[in-house]
């Protein structure tokens, strides 16, 4: 058995955008625009309002917003500014609140540190967590996010959604108190609805 691997060289330089939106629908629509670019982001992370609230509660410097995207681009010193500008233009649209550029260094690292801190911080909301990774076509992310928000309302649950929007993979986290029989039942009843929605 033989395998031949083609490796991509490490990028010369990287930079990121932090983009805040009025609501999850606006951010999800921007994901579709960003992924329709001739040169797509190397990383694209989505966080809903609950995620941002949790980051603030844990000391991260994140403004209030309905949703946030973290967009990462790779390139060289000549091309990266043009790539960032194209991605920033795609990120603009209805519901945009703020767009900040973080070039190399501490500012960029701070952005990704906030994202990495998110998953462990979920336990501060509730001791029970049902975490499912679901994947839909990027163009259907707005429908998935809207549907999850509707399920959270219908079942009176906290559901935190974030993840790798660039490939349509979102982490849907149903948070609940296992010792509350009613809430426990609602959480487990909501789970198959998440799968139905995804399908």
Over 70: is that where the pLDDT of 186 sits?
yes
pLDDT at 104 over 70: no
Last residue of a domain, one of 118, 142, 167: 118
Q: Is residue 7 part of a domain?
A: no
pTM confidence score: 0.85
Report yes or no on 105 lying in a domain: yes
| pLDDT computed for residue 130 by the predictor | 95
- Using one digit for the tens of pLDDT, what is the confidence trace for 34-58? 998 888 899 999 998 888 988 888 7
> In this structure, is residue 68 part of a structural domain?
yes
What is the CA 74 to chain-centroid distance, rounded? 19
pLDDT tens figures, 133-164: 999 998 888 889 889 999 999 999 999 999 99
Count CA atoms closer than 13 A to 145's CA, side-chain side: 32
Distance CA 15, CA 107 (A): 10
Contacts of 61 (CB under 8 A, 6+ apart): 110
């Amino acid at each position: 058995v033989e395998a031949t691997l083609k490796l991509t060289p490490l990028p010369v330089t990287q930079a990121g955008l932090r983009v805040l939106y009025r609501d999850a629908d606006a951010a999800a629509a921007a994901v579709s625009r960003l992924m329709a670019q001739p040169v797509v982001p190397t990383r694209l992370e989505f966080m809903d309002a609950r995620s941002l609230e949790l980051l603030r509660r844990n000391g991260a410097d994140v403004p209030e917003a309905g949703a946030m995207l973290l967009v990462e681009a790779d390139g060289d010193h000549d091309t990266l500014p043009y790539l960032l500008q194209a991605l920033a233009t795609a990120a603009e649209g209805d519901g945009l609140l703020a767009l900040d550029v973080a070039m190399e260094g501490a500012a960029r690292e701070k952005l990704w540190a906030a994202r990495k801190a998110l998953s462990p911080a979920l336990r501060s909301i509730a001791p029970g967590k049902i975490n499912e990774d679901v994947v839909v076509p990027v163009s259907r992310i707005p429908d998935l996010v809207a549907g999850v928000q509707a399920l959270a309302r219908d079942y009176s649950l906290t559901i935190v959604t974030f993840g790798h929007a660039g490939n349509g993979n979102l982490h849907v986290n149903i948070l609940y108190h296992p010792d509350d029989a009613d809430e426990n039942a609602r959480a487990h009843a909501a789970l198959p609805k998440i799968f139905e929605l995804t399908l």
